[in-house]
Structure 1
Amino acid sequence: MVHARAVRMTRYAELQVTSYFSFLRGVSAPAELFAQAKRLGLSAIGITDRNTLAGIVQAHIAAKDTGMRLVVGCRLDLADFPPVLVYPMDRAAYGRLCRLLSIGKARAGKGKCLLNWADLAEWGDGLQAVLVPDVAGEDCALHLRKLRDAFGDRAYMALTLRRQPNDQMRLYELANMAHARRVKTVVTNDVLFDIHDRRILQDVVTCVRHNTTIDRAGFVRERHADRYLKPPQEIARLFSRYPEAIDRSMEIVERCRFSLDDLAYQYPDEITTPGQTPQEALEALTWEGARAFYTDGIPEDVAEILRHELALIGRMSYAPYFLTVNSIVRESRRRGILCQGRGSAANSAVCFVLGITAIDPSRTTLLFERFISEERGEPPDIDVDFEHARREEIIQWIYDHYGRTRAALTAVVTRYRAKGALRDVGKVMGLPEDLITLLSKQIWGWSREVDAEKFAETGIDLTDRRIRLTLDLARALIGVPRHLSQHPGGFVLTHDRLDELVPIEPAAMENRQTIEWDKDDIDALKFMKVDVLALGMLTCMKKGLDLLAEHKGQRFTLQTIPAEDPRTYAMIRKADTIGVFQIESRAQMSMLPRLKPRTYYDLVIEVAIVRPGPIQMGWTASMRH
């Protein structure tokens, strides 16, 4: 029997925790896991999602928010070896883990990972490795010997309850075998969810993963409901025969010195003149572009704006970012591909003289701080639209120019919305297809809510326990990630190897690759990205400009198109705008004859008003009178 004082003094870190970024396996967010761990008094937790680091940034944020310690880790499911939990001890080891995962993903294709023991042994320097065994047989003895030979004193074996017959005897035999092979043991609880009540939701995602119903799932479900976080006192009670194995959880924590704060992001080097700094190169290009556009001399007010922007860019060390965007836009112009920056970057005179945007600072009032602000301290974000028919040329040029080890698209985490959650849960619960269709039709496609009252008029029996449970589980599943997809065009570019910062995997589209983190993760780590987007209207404009040059001999660029043409605005006031980007919708066309725009800024106001926010506030209704 364990002494009461010893139980109370137990320090324990749960090192085998699966978040919902192990898609359709875990069901708890990193924030939920860390909040519960803090309530229980755990010293740290290790996030070990399967063959991925997709959730590690969110775990890093959650750890900071709760003041807890995160142990960065990953569970590697190997093709010829039992699963191994790995934890990088330092920055170099983390880089090797990222490259190892990238190798496995490149072999297996999108959403998969194929690794062998030989891969882990080759890339395992600096990793602590914990074998996750089944039973103490001859195979286990062989695996322990290999683990010991490859990892030395960084080799461990997990002791985990399976809640099966003779479970304590199994642990006893495993512990003895590990001791005989000079491999240390460590206790883990193999956590799949933060609290006990999430067990049923975990069964649901397991059924979705196996494409079966809950009635036919059988042993594909977890065999016991014990896979939730437990306090140190409970762990001490359950593993009272192995106090040293409990203590070793903290040994692993203390040896893992790596944190995501150690990642140092460096933007690509775009310097073409030896000895120049990025800031000097940007200033030279800026003044060169200004002199080329303002052939009669740079207006003093524009020169003042340029000096102000360049000084702020210099203080924020953002010059490399502008140089990279300029490099991409310059290549687009060289190929004759029309492109145009948009969004808050249009407030930048530097972007205008570099040819990234087409808003002349001499004709408008720009607020550069809307784009870059010292107070916000956020990285700049320049969205550049390209002709949709030729954007792939630019994407492939970026891969070729910067190298596939230094360039990749960001990911998009596809999460369950109400309609998708209801359909998947309905199938798992064995509901008829026509009933699932009827239920899902009551929900707007982008809704994030499942409100039972919406189904009252359909004739569906809401007192039926299976239907009520379906609605409750669908509600709980909303927001849970289902898989990763690729961003429409958000590139992360680096000076050093990108695959040592984050794993890279092939995208579904040919010759594309993505990282495992989305734009929110990138922003949290202060990485910069360049958005290379497609716009069909730019293709139309390019054809129009080409026709003018061919038949009228009039050669224009987006920057030199005559402004404020009265006949154009006369057509706009009549709502003759079908096919005109931004003002072709029925809502926009109904507002144009009322506001009667005569200048570009009138259009800015009109487009800003006809948006969901102002409409819901009733501002547009007041303009009818």
Structure 2
Amino acid sequence: MYLNCHTYYSLRYGTFSEEELLRLAQGNQVAQLVLTDINNTSACLNFVRKAPEFGIKPLLGVDFRNGVDPCYVGIAKNNEGYLELNNFLSEHLHREKEFPPVAPCFENAYVIYPFEKVLLHEIASFREHEFIGISVANLKRLRFSKLVGFKEKLVVQQPVTFRNKRDFNAHRLLRAIDNNTLLSKLSITEQASEEEKMFPIKNLAAVFAEHSFILENTEQLLNACSIEFDFSEGREPQNLKTYTGSKEKDVVLLEKLCEEGLPYRYPEGGDAVKARLDKELQLIKKMGFVSYFLINWDIVSEARRRGFYYVGRGSGANSIVAYLLRITDVDPMELDLYFERFINLYRANPPDFDIDFSHRDRPIMTEYIFKRFQHVALLGTYVTFKWKGMVRELGKVFGLPKEEIDALSDGHFQMSRLDGVSSLVVKYTRLLEGMPNYLSIHAGGILISEKPLHWFSATHLPPKGFPTTQFDMVIAEDVGLYKFDILGQRGLAKIRESMEILERDRPEDFAKIDIHDIKRFKEDSKINDLIKTAQCMGCFYVESPAMRMLLKKLEVDNYLGLVAASSIIRPGVAKSGMMREYILRHRNKGRAEEKAHPVMLNIMPDTYGVMVYQEDVIKVAHHFADLTLGEADVLRRGMSGKFRSREEFQKVREKFIDNCRKKGYGDELIFEIWDQVASFAGYAFAKGHSASYAVESYQTLFLRAYYPLEYMVAVLNNGGGFYRSEFYIHEARMLGATIHPPCINSSFGTNRLYGKQLYLGFGYLKDLEARVTERILKERILNGIFLSLEDFLDRVLISIEQLGILIRIDAFRFTHTNKHELLWKAHLFLGKSKKIDHPKLFAPKQQDFRIPRLHTTDLEMAFTQLELLGFCLCSPFELLQEPPMNANGSKDLARYLNRYIDIYGYLVTVKNTSTHNGKKMHFATLVDQQGEVFDTVLFPPVAAKYFFRGRGVYRFYGKVVSEFGFLSIEVIKMRKEDYVQDPRYADMKTANRELFLKKDSK
């Protein structure tokens, strides 16, 4: 009887989930009901999936509204009707246009006009599929209305939005947030009626007893509708079924492509390669994943045609077929990649392929996919209300002052000491927390479907301009839609720009480079030495302090070691305590036999019986706990995100424990292994994924080893990496570059290398407008370099403020005129007004002004650079008020091992973390006076007394210690060193002080 039910996917309106709606219906003896969220279908698929558990027949529709003003409710007779409703809704969402007062003539959907709307618009006739909705509140007015004569068109439309008073209060708060208004000023027209509740079916029937024909009409309408989606384990994938239009042709094409790839990937051939290929092809065909592989092949082939760099990773990187099709550059034979992680007969979903492109190339590839295939959409995701954001929103709604909102947001309060209003904010924040706030876009998921995507949901059109589903990846997989991950990555842009720089500046070297010759890179001693010494600044995935530390501890000097390190560094392995255990077993080969359980060591001999890769979860579940491969995969997937709460995951967990007990394992061992699985599986990489990252790391390491300056410029021009730009500039200097501040005649928007001269880009000047940079470059390209300040002013439209920035950073140093003199000239020429842009028939005659001789000190220049660039180009140690008392640096740590050292360092980065009992500690990386890096650790007692106060030079006293050969300093005490007074303001302060003393003496 309920044709108009809302969940909290009626965004900022509804108050409970689709599962809670079903539970509510079950409690009220409702056998069938229609989910009709407002302009939204996010909950529809999961509503259909969960309904059988509650013994309810699910039906789907949409509550079409302009804002909160109801227009009509559409109810799908069947899946085709649901498609019609989604098409109609999507068209209006994409174009942001209002819904018309009269609905279109749907072929497979009913339309219900609310009683009030029929009266308002004086609708006098109704088509076969159209009805008039009567709520409990409307009954009193119906008998006095002419609409009572439309007996066959009247149906029950009792909206369901609330369960109780608390829901209604939450609804009012959501409406106030949506309208950005105080709760006290929320208009009644922006709210639903408090009577929009579900009543027991008997009560509803009793209310409409005098109008039994309305009940009969409603029953007939509900019985005429049905909706079906397959959520069974054996469901067919809903992705595009064929690539060529024929399954037979798809198979022929896939086999042909694999044959063509064999000589390129395996010139030496081999029976093992052929056996692995045959095994994979047989299973891919049996599972119906042929088109999935061909679509990925199509995407990467187009990327290569366009000259785009890409990395294929994910579990698909375990596949030899993917390797032959050049979807990935990871050789599964070399790494003995676990085939069952990639695909097995018990796995319903195809393997994951994450294809990374440069952040510049990714939009182009996304557009290609949308044009190349018919039924395409980006995958949606929900942004939910989080604590801090909710406190701020509700604080504003309740009219709290900013100071009180800030205090609540920080979480430092006692409920007993809060006033009434603050208590309400906390109460309702906890109620609303976790509700969907708005729809967004999955990081990289694209759906390519056999059916139109509107078969599954409506789509909206975010700023990216591509249709996006109103459901997320979890329910997409449930219904058989598997995403293609097309991701953006800056590391690839760095490789691409490095190659472009080489092509432009060193074409003879560029012609010799094959950046995809990974096999040669793996055997290059110069590259492997960089890994061994952890000289990896700027290199993809291996440049962070933690990775640098791990590489030294593991003594990594080859590709296989880097593959392992790429996964060991992930949070889960460290959290489980197995990172340390892995290092111990790696450095002491006998320890594995002593400490590892024989079954674990037999399953994972290459990693000393330690779970390192994601597929290790499958191996342990399958071989240690005797789970089927299908159950093991449920376990792997269940370790992350929403799957963890799914019933199937809980059942597999219980079976894992039961099976182990049946095998005679003790509970201590069982739960130790389970805790390891549970602690890291959601964070670990698949081995093929780690290998893909290691391949890209080797590409960047090759560039750093042989073309370090070109590569460092590319790093800087593509957003840097783990560190601030300042440190990549420092690294370029350490690699032999001479660093120049921006120059009018030599700089561009980004950094530019001339031999070993690196000119910083105008982009570092935070206050310089982009349009000014564009004018400078356009004029310089069209008419040549600038000859003087006067020449520049004749040719470029610029304000005195913008010109002042360029002069102060010494961008006119080619004139050999002091910048203070140039600033005098600029003010005399331009004054305080903006320069007027007008056509010049003749070059203007510049007046000759006599400027006093002025000078600039290096110290003044350093502080100007700090202000305008955010860093200075001299050594920060030169700015100290008191010169360092010693020259100790990274080179001296070995000499001071197990002794105490006094050392100065310029702060690079700090990692703040907590011990298992919640006490704070810090790891800091710094640069010494010679420009080399060293590391410090502040354990909780020291971290409680000392803390880092932003960038600058710090002096440390501490003990040099070694852990697995990695040297660091355990700090005992530290202090931040003061810089000298800024000379640009020193004279002003002195003058002010003298003036004050003079006045005071009077």
TM tier, smaller: 0.7 to 0.9
Q: Is contact 2:237-2:349 (8 Å) kept?
A: no
Once residues 264 and 503 of structure 1 are traced to their aligned partners in structure 2, the CA distance between those partners, rounded to angstroms, is 20
| Residues 167-182 of structure 1: pairs in structure 2 closer than 5 A | 168-174=139-145, 177-182=146-151
Q: Which runs of 5+ in 2 are unaligned?
A: 584-962, 965-1002
1:580 aligned onto 2:551: no
Deviations 1:167-208 (A, max 9, x none): 65314335xx33423542222321113444322111111111
Shift of residue 558, structure 1, vs aligned partner: 3.0
Once residues 157 and 546 of structure 2 are traced to their aligned partners in structure 1, the CA distance between those partners, rounded to angstroms, is 58
Deviations 1:213-258 (A, max 9, x none): 2222242464753323221123234434333323443322210022
Shift of residue 551, structure 1, vs aligned partner: 4.0
Deviates more, 1:327-336 or 1:212-221: 212-221
| Residues 397-408 of structure 1: pairs in structure 2 closer than 5 A | 397-403=368-374, 406-408=375-377
User: 1:184 is matched with which residue: 153, 163, 168?
Assistant: 153
Deviations 1:363-393 (A, max 9, x none): 1111122122321312332110012122221
The 3 A distance-change label for structure 1 pair 554 and 47 is: same
Once residues 576 and 544 of structure 1 are traced to their aligned partners in structure 2, the CA distance between those partners, rounded to angstroms, is 18
User: 2:9 is matched with which residue: 12, 17, 21?
Assistant: 21
- In structure 2, the partner of 1:534 is 488
Once residues 429 and 270 of structure 1 are traced to their aligned partners in structure 2, the CA distance between those partners, rounded to angstroms, is 56
Deviates more, 1:67-76 or 1:488-497: 488-497
Opposite residue 201 of structure 2, the aligned amino acid is P
- In structure 2, the partner of 1:114 is 98
Q: Is contact 2:71-2:101 (8 Å) kept?
A: no
Once residues 377 and 277 of structure 1 are traced to their aligned partners in structure 2, the CA distance between those partners, rounded to angstroms, is 23
Opposite residue 358 of structure 2, the aligned amino acid is E
3-state secondary structure, aligned to 2:573? helix
1:52 aligned onto 2:40: yes
- In structure 2, the partner of 1:469 is 424
3-state secondary structure, aligned to 1:83? strand
1:302 aligned onto 2:273: yes
Shift of residue 280, structure 1, vs aligned partner: 2.3
Deviations 1:87-123 (A, max 9, x none): 1112322222222122212321xxxx532256x324x
| Residues 136-535 of structure 1: pairs in structure 2 closer than 5 A | 137=119, 139=120, 142-145=122-125, 148=126, 150=127, 152=128, 154-162=129-137, 168-174=139-145, 177-220=146-189, 222=191, 224-261=193-230, 265-267=238-240, 269-271=242-244, 276-296=248-268, 298-403=269-374, 406-442=375-411, 454-456=412-414, 462-509=417-464, 511-535=465-489
The 3 A distance-change label for structure 1 pair 528 and 38 is: same
1:606 aligned onto 2:581: no
Q: Is contact 2:19-2:50 (8 Å) kept?
A: yes
Once residues 470 and 530 of structure 2 are traced to their aligned partners in structure 1, the CA distance between those partners, rounded to angstroms, is 47
Deviates more, 1:611-620 or 1:358-367: 611-620
User: 2:112 is matched with which residue: 117, 124, 130?
Assistant: 130
Opposite residue 322 of structure 1, the aligned amino acid is F
Opposite residue 160 of structure 1, the aligned amino acid is S
Q: Which runs of 5+ in 1 are unaligned?
A: 1-12, 443-453
Opposite residue 299 of structure 1, the aligned amino acid is G
**Normalising by structure 2, what TM-score?**
0.54
- In structure 1, the partner of 2:514 is 556
The 3 A distance-change label for structure 1 pair 18 and 35 is: same
The 3 A distance-change label for structure 1 pair 179 and 260 is: farther
Once residues 315 and 271 of structure 1 are traced to their aligned partners in structure 2, the CA distance between those partners, rounded to angstroms, is 18
- In structure 2, the partner of 1:449 is none
Opposite residue 477 of structure 2, the aligned amino acid is D
User: 2:527 is matched with which residue: 547, 568, 571?
Assistant: 568
Q: Is contact 2:182-2:398 (8 Å) kept?
A: yes
Shift of residue 523, structure 1, vs aligned partner: 0.8
Q: Is contact 2:459-2:470 (8 Å) kept?
A: yes
The 3 A distance-change label for structure 1 pair 521 and 559 is: farther
Shift of residue 144, structure 1, vs aligned partner: 4.8
Instruction: Determine what percentage of the aligned residue pairs are the same residue.
Output: 24
Q: Is contact 2:170-2:432 (8 Å) kept?
A: yes
3-state secondary structure, aligned to 1:101? helix
Compare relative contact order (CA 8 Å, sep 6+) and give the higher one, 1 or 2.
1
Q: Is contact 1:33-1:193 (8 Å) kept?
A: no
Opposite residue 261 of structure 2, the aligned amino acid is G
Q: Is contact 1:347-1:370 (8 Å) kept?
A: yes
The 3 A distance-change label for structure 1 pair 600 and 193 is: farther
Q: Is contact 2:71-2:117 (8 Å) kept?
A: no
The 3 A distance-change label for structure 1 pair 360 and 619 is: closer
Q: Is contact 1:348-1:368 (8 Å) kept?
A: yes
- In structure 2, the partner of 1:9 is none
1:35 aligned onto 2:17: no
Q: Is contact 2:320-2:331 (8 Å) kept?
A: yes
Once residues 118 and 41 of structure 2 are traced to their aligned partners in structure 1, the CA distance between those partners, rounded to angstroms, is 30
How many corresponding residue pairs? 575
Shift of residue 499, structure 1, vs aligned partner: 3.7
Deviates more, 1:29-38 or 1:482-491: 482-491
Shift of residue 520, structure 1, vs aligned partner: 1.7
3-state secondary structure, aligned to 2:110? strand
The 3 A distance-change label for structure 1 pair 423 and 82 is: closer
3-state secondary structure, aligned to 1:507? coil
The 3 A distance-change label for structure 1 pair 483 and 275 is: closer
